[in-house]
């Protein structure tokens, strides 16, 4: 049933009803929309480790696959998982650009190239929406860094904005995404939630995109400015600037009635398209409906293994070190912190609660290689910033939990009387939001107490870590060891939460003697709160390093796993440099010195410094590969699967070679995109600078030959490139054939991924749309004259050429 909406009802639809849902008008046929954050899966609103969901490879890992068909299947998997969890809209994919290797959320971006980003983003959208879950592309636009993102103004010229930063969103619009999420920052002086020149003029009017535009959470700044700038929905609810104020703005003549009607229509259309009524049930895909159920666990795991391996990028393999053959290397040592403490994902508010039985790389390697794995040594501390604390709850709450801490939430700052809520949490990093977590209603003069029993495995000095968004106190066996009475201002809480900084106190403990640990947090009003803690036992860094060296010396081959922890790439904070931790760099040098037959496996979500690469015989980038990291890695190292990835970003030889590096706005808050369209591989090529690991580079376990490029016009300015591809090796494998235009700067214009059997030859076809041969000069303008089309395996290996004349 549908009917005309009143002005008050239209205004109601312009603001969220709750933190994660929109308003409903049932008798007008407008259901509420339930949302969840992404893009690596369906993030639980409570940020609770018990709220387990499927964790897919990160967008950077999917970007490394260069495989739209695979990415579409992953999008479909997430869409089905959303249905299982009662979610209508996913806030994904993230279509921002990996402009700088320092970007804190680069792992959430597909690539540094807008065509690769846009094509994979569109594939993800098609997959997600094929089962009836809407996709909200984010963050429009130029939210390509995190430093001061709430006030930063991206200063970008029109050509760069159109050809680079808007292109992925244009492709998302063509894919029919449910809507778009506006960024926190400004672009050319306008808040993105008020950026009429982008939202209204370009996306709505020029692209004729019919979907809705919503703000990022708490990202609105005005009523009339937001509506007139094209925003349709303020999130979260209850309303701050829109909602009933939208109707008032119309009544006062600040906003045209047609604009309010358009906003409500867009929200209502999305709700009718993707919302579910209370009795609606998803059906099996293919049964006369576009709804679909999640994949069975086994099929989902198989897809996630395939997707992880599809992004693994082999950039060095001297003398065919990989795949590993136990017959040639009967004694294999596994070394490095990420073998036992892998980084499955980065640290955003869209963090997924991973299944507790996710197989660690070290366990998967032992299962696959058996007795050939003769030793494991981490070499360095696997949790350098915030170590875990293995504890058992202080009280039995009858929930069957025997690990973790007892959490008591109080409605007073004295933490007196009975708690209003208690739970057992097996995590050492807690966050709760107003209106989401039950304790979020405790807004002022409230407190939380975490308590549990810790038993030291050896005697000695133990380091206790404690951090939080308010006043803190640490007690061990009733004795106060730390106290800080500082209270944060509401505007400072989010910064403290995102930084994750902790104080450290040294306390002596005796082996096997249980001690009671109590951590207390007192806080004032804020929309979110957080508490984190951990314990590091005795044991020197040098002893760990020596043990790893000894294991390496006694092995025929070494698998050395280095990389990041989940707090290395975080929301609202960019990185200080491109380096791995110094202790890991020392580990690489010392292990490779005692055993050059080393495979370095990196677990990093972005471009980073790899000047150590020549020290090892093989280097495999795994990015952030999701929950099936262990199984995928074991299968690829053993040769059961192909490492299918190619570089989605450029790794420069020196930091100074990156066309865009610094992400620090100037004193006016301006961040100038002075590199224009020439960033990443484009900028290096324009300056004649070679990359250490070029964009598009990588290989599998076989070899290929390219020949005979041909190009023909297909009408309307479109072209088709054909190339003969032959597998010259002895194994089946995949190759990514890439096409670049040479003028006015090197630019990817098309690609395809093909799988060939040994000796097989195939004609591969790459469609090149007319837009790929145009530049923005006040309007889209076709390049004139002869255009050189270069074909090869990476931006730095383009041996074939054909010409197009326009």
Complete DSSP assignment for 775-797? EESSSEEEPPSEEEEEEESBTTB
The reported pLDDT for the residue numbered 570 is 83
Average the pLDDT over 12-31 and give the result.
Answer: 96
Q: How far is CA 52 from CA 167, 277, 359, 389, 463, in A?
A: 34, 25, 15, 20, 30
Q: pLDDT tens digits for 414-433?
A: 999 999 999 999 999 998 88
**How many whole angstroms separate alpha carbon 518 and alpha carbon 394?**
9
Transcribe 21-72 into DSSP letters: BB--BGGGTB---BEEE-SSS---TT--TTSB---PPPHHHHHHHT-HHHHH
Q: Please name the residues in contact with 232: beta carbons below 8 A apart, sequence gap of 6 or more.
A: 14, 179, 212, 213, 214, 262, 263, 264, 266, 267
Q: What's the distance, CA 722 to chain centroid? A: 34
**How many whole angstroms separate alpha carbon 608 and alpha carbon 653?**
10
pLDDT confidence of 624, banded at 50, 70, 90?
A: very high
For 162, which DSSP code? Answer: I
Query: Do residues 531 and 404 both lie within one domain?
Result: yes
**How many whole angstroms separate alpha carbon 281 and alpha carbon 283?**
6
**How many whole angstroms separate alpha carbon 419 and alpha carbon 401?**
19
Query: Do residues 400 and 512 both lie within one domain?
Result: yes
Is pLDDT at 293 greater than 80 in this prediction? no
CB 361 within 8 A of CB 342: yes
The reported pLDDT for the residue numbered 284 is 32
The reported pLDDT for the residue numbered 384 is 84
pLDDT, greater one: 282 or 571: 571
163 domain-assigned: no
140 domain-assigned: no
The reported pLDDT for the residue numbered 692 is 98
To the nearest 5 percent, what fractions of the chain are helix, strand and coil? 25, 30, 45
Choosing from 610, 633, 661, the residue where a domain stops is 661
Q: How far is CA 432 from CA 163, 284, 527, in A?
A: 40, 35, 9
**How many whole angstroms separate alpha carbon 502 and alpha carbon 23?**
39
CB 36 within 8 A of CB 82: yes
Query: Do residues 438 and 532 both lie within one domain?
Result: yes
575 domain-assigned: yes
Q: How far is CA 489 from CA 338, 435, 444, 486, in A?
A: 37, 20, 12, 10
Query: Do residues 321 and 417 both lie within one domain?
Result: no
774 domain-assigned: yes
Three-state SS sequence of 212-228: EEEECCCCCCCCHHHHH
Average the pLDDT over 186-195 and give the result.
Answer: 98
Query: Do residues 360 and 459 both lie within one domain?
Result: no
Query: Do residues 448 and 579 both lie within one domain?
Result: no
pLDDT confidence of 50, banded at 50, 70, 90?
A: confident
Instruction: With H, G, I as helix, E, B as strand and everything else as coil, classify residue 560.
Output: strand
Which residue's entry shows tokens 């300015």? 717
Tokens for 364, please give them. 């998967």
What is the enclosing helix (H) or strand (E) of 82? helix 68-84
The reported pLDDT for the residue numbered 442 is 64
Q: Starting from the edge strand earliest in sequence, which strands make up the sheet with 460-468, in order?
A: 429-433, 528-536, 460-468, 503-509
Mean pLDDT score of the chain, rounded to an integer?
94
Ranking 158-172, 537-551, 686-700, 720-734 by mean pLDDT, the lowest is 537-551
Q: Please name the residues in contact with 776: beta carbons below 8 A apart, sequence gap of 6 or more.
A: 158, 159, 162, 163
The reported pLDDT for the residue numbered 292 is 53
pTM: 0.95
Is pLDDT at 158 greater than 80 in this prediction? yes
CB 226 within 8 A of CB 177: no
Choosing from 643, 661, 679, the residue where a domain stops is 661
712 domain-assigned: yes
pLDDT, greater one: 73 or 441: 73
Query: Do residues 411 and 331 both lie within one domain?
Result: no
**How many whole angstroms separate alpha carbon 698 and alpha carbon 314?**
5
Average the pLDDT over 613-630 and give the result.
Answer: 98
Is pLDDT at 286 greater than 80 in this prediction? no
Choosing from 536, 564, 580, the residue where a domain stops is 536
Bridge partners of 761? 726
Average the pLDDT over 257-285 and give the result.
Answer: 78
Bridge partners of 484? 472
Of these residues, 216, 232, 609, 675, which one is catalytic? 216
pLDDT confidence of 495, banded at 50, 70, 90?
A: confident
Instruction: With H, G, I as helix, E, B as strand and everything else as coil, classify residue 114.
Output: helix
Three-state SS sequence of 428-452: CEEEEECCCCHHHHCCCCEEEEEEE
**How many whole angstroms separate alpha carbon 103 and alpha carbon 146?**
7
Q: Strand (E) positions, 206-275?
A: 212-215
Query: Do residues 652 and 517 both lie within one domain?
Result: no
What stretches of 691-771 show up as alpha helix (H) in DSSP? none
Dihedral pair phi/psi, residue 652, rounded to 5°: -80, 160
pLDDT confidence of 443, banded at 50, 70, 90?
A: low
Q: 490, exposed or middle or buried, with CB in 10 Å at 0-12, 13-18, 19+?
A: exposed
| CATH classification of the domain holding 322 | 3.40.50.1700
Average the pLDDT over 25-46 and give the result.
Answer: 95
Nearest to 230 by CA among 213, 247, 244, 215: 213
pLDDT, greater one: 313 or 295: 313
Query: Do residues 503 and 550 both lie within one domain?
Result: no
Ranking 95-109, 332-346, 481-495, 631-645 by mean pLDDT, the lowest is 481-495
The reported pLDDT for the residue numbered 289 is 35
- Total structural domains in the chain? 3
216 is catalytic: yes
Percent of the chain exceeding pLDDT 90 equals 86
Q: pLDDT tens digits for 740-762?
A: 999 999 999 999 999 999 999 99
The reported pLDDT for the residue numbered 1 is 59
Bridge partners of 233? 214
| CATH classification of the domain holding 495 | 2.60.120.260
Q: Strand (E) positions, 552-703?
A: 557-563, 598-603, 618-621, 651-652, 670-672, 691-693
pLDDT confidence of 400, banded at 50, 70, 90?
A: confident
The reported pLDDT for the residue numbered 283 is 33
Is pLDDT at 500 greater than 70 in this prediction? yes
Average the pLDDT over 237-253 and give the result.
Answer: 97
The reported pLDDT for the residue numbered 290 is 40
**How many whole angstroms separate alpha carbon 578 and alpha carbon 568?**
11
Dihedral pair phi/psi, residue 663, rounded to 5°: -120, 20
Q: Which domain covers residue 595, as residue numbers?
A: 297-381+540-661
Three-state SS sequence of 284-350: CCCCCCCCCCCCCHHHHHHHHHHHHHHHCEEEEEHHHCCCCCCCCCCCEEEECHHHCCCCCCCECCC
CB 106 within 8 A of CB 606: yes
524 domain-assigned: yes
Average the pLDDT over 206-225 and give the result.
Answer: 97
515 domain-assigned: yes
Q: Rg (Cα) of the chain, in Å, rounded?
A: 27
Q: Strand (E) positions, 687-746?
A: 691-693, 704-715, 718-727, 733-741
The reported pLDDT for the residue numbered 288 is 29
Average the pLDDT over 521-526 and give the result.
Answer: 88
Average the pLDDT over 484-504 and give the result.
Answer: 82
Query: Do residues 347 and 371 both lie within one domain?
Result: yes
Q: Does 139 sit behind a cis peptide bond, omega within 30 degrees of 0 on the bond before it?
A: yes
Bridge partners of 800? 791
Q: 258, exposed or middle or buried, with CB in 10 Å at 0-12, 13-18, 19+?
A: exposed
587 domain-assigned: yes
Query: Do residues 602 and 713 both lie within one domain?
Result: no
Q: pLDDT tens digits for 106-152?
A: 999 999 999 999 999 999 999 999 999 999 999 999 999 999 999 99
Is pLDDT at 371 greater than 90 in this prediction? yes
Average the pLDDT over 372-381 and give the result.
Answer: 97
Tokens for 785, please give them. 């004259």
Query: Do residues 554 and 649 both lie within one domain?
Result: yes
């Amino acid at each position: 049933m549908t009917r005309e909406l009143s002005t008050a009802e239209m205004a109601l639809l312009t603001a969220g009803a709750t933190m994660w849902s929109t308003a409903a008008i049932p008798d007008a046929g407008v259901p509420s929309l339930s949302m969840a954050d992404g893009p690596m899966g369906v993030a639980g609103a409570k940020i609770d480790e018990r709220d387990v969901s499927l964790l897919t490879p990160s967008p950077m890992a999917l970007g490394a696959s260069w495989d739209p068909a695979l990415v579409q299947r992953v999008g479909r998997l997430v869409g089905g998982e959303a249905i299982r969890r009662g979610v209508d809209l996913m806030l994904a994919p993230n279509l921002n650009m990996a402009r700088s290797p320092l970007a804190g959320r680069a792992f959430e971006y597909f690539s540094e190239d807008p065509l690769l980003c846009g094509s994979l983003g569109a594939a993800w959208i098609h997959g997600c929406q094929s089962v009836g879950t809407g996709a909200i592309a984010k963050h429009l636009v130029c939210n390509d860094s995190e430093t001061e993102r709430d006030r930063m103004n991206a200063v970008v010229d029109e050509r760069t904005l159109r050809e680079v930063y808007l292109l992925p969103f244009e492709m998302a619009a063509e894919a029919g995404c449910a809507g778009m999420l506006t960024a926190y920052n400004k672009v050319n002086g306008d808040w993105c939630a008020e950026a009429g020149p982008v939202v209204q003029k370009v996306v709505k009017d020029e692209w004729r995109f019919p979907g809705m535009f919503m703000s990022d959470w708490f990202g609105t700044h005005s009523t009339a400015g937001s509506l007139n700038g094209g925003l349709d929905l303020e999130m979260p609810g209850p309303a701050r600037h829109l909602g009933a104020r939208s109707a008032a703005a119309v009544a006062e003549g600040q906003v045209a009635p047609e604009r309010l009607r358009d906003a409500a229509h867009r929200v209502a259309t999305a709700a009718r398209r993707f919302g579910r009524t209370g009795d609606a049930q998803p059906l099996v895909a293919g049964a006369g409906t576009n709804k679909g159920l999640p994949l069975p666990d086994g099929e989902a795991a198989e897809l996630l293994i395939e997707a992880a391996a599809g992004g693994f990028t082999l950039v060095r393999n001297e003398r065919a070190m990989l795949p590993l053959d136990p017959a040639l290397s009967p004694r294999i040592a596994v070394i490095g912190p990420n073998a036992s403490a892998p980084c499955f994902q980065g640290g955003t508010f869209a963090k997924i609660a991973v299944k507790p039985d996710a197989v660690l790389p070290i366990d998967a390697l032992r299962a696959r290689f058996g007795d050939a794995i003769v030793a494991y040594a981490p070499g360095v501390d696997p949790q350098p910033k915030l170590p875990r604390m293995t504890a058992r709850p202080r009280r039995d709450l009858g929930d069957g939990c025997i690990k973790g801490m007892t959490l008591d939430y109080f409605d007073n700052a004295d933490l007196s009387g009975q708690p209003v809520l208690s739970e057992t949490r097996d995590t050492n990093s807690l966050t709760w939001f107003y209106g989401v977590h039950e304790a979020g209603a405790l807004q002022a003069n409230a407190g939380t107490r975490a308590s549990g029993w810790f038993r030291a495995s050896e005697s000695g000095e133990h380091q206790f870590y404690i951090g939080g968004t308010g006043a803190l106190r640490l007690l061990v066996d009733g004795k106060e060891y730390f106290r800080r009475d500082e209270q944060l201002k509401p505007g400072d809480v989010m910064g403290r939460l995102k930084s994750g900084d902790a104080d450290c106190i040294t306390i002596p403990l005796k082996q096997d003697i249980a001690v009671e640990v109590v951590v207390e947090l007192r806080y004032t009003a804020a929309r979110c709160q957080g508490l984190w803690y951990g314990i590091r036992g005795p044991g020197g860094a040098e002893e760990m390093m020596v043990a790893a060296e000894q294991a390496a010396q006694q092995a025929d081959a070494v698998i050395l796993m280095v990389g990041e922890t989940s707090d290395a790439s975080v929301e609202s904070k960019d990185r200080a440099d491109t380096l791995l931790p110094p202790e890991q760099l020392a580990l690489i040098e010392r292990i490779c010195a005692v055993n050059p037959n080393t495979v370095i496996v990196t677990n990093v979500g972005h471009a980073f410094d790899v000047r150590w690469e020549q020290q090892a015989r093989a280097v495999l980038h795994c990015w952030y590969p999701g929950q099936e990291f262990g199984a995928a890695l074991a299968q690829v190292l053993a040769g059961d699967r192909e490492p299918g990835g190619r570089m989605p970003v450029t790794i420069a030889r020196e930091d100074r070679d990156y066309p865009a590096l610094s992400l620090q706005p100037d004193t006016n808050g301006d961040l100038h995109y002075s590199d224009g369209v020439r960033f990443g591989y484009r900028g290096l090529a324009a300056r004649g600078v070679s990359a250490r690991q070029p964009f598009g580079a990588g290989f599998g376990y076989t070899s290929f030959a390219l020949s005979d490029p041909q190009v023909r016009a297909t009408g309307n300015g479109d072209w088709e490139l054909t190339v003969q591809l032959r597998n010259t090796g002895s194994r089946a494998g995949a190759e990514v054939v890439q096409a670049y235009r040479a003028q006015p700067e090197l630019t990817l214009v098309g690609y395809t991924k093909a799988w060939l059997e040994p000796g097989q030859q195939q004609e591969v076809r790459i469609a090149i749309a007319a837009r790929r041969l145009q530049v923005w000069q006040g309007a889209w303008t076709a390049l004139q004259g002869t255009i050189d089309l270069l074909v090869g395996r990476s931006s730095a290996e383009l041996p074939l050429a054909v010409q197009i004349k326009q």
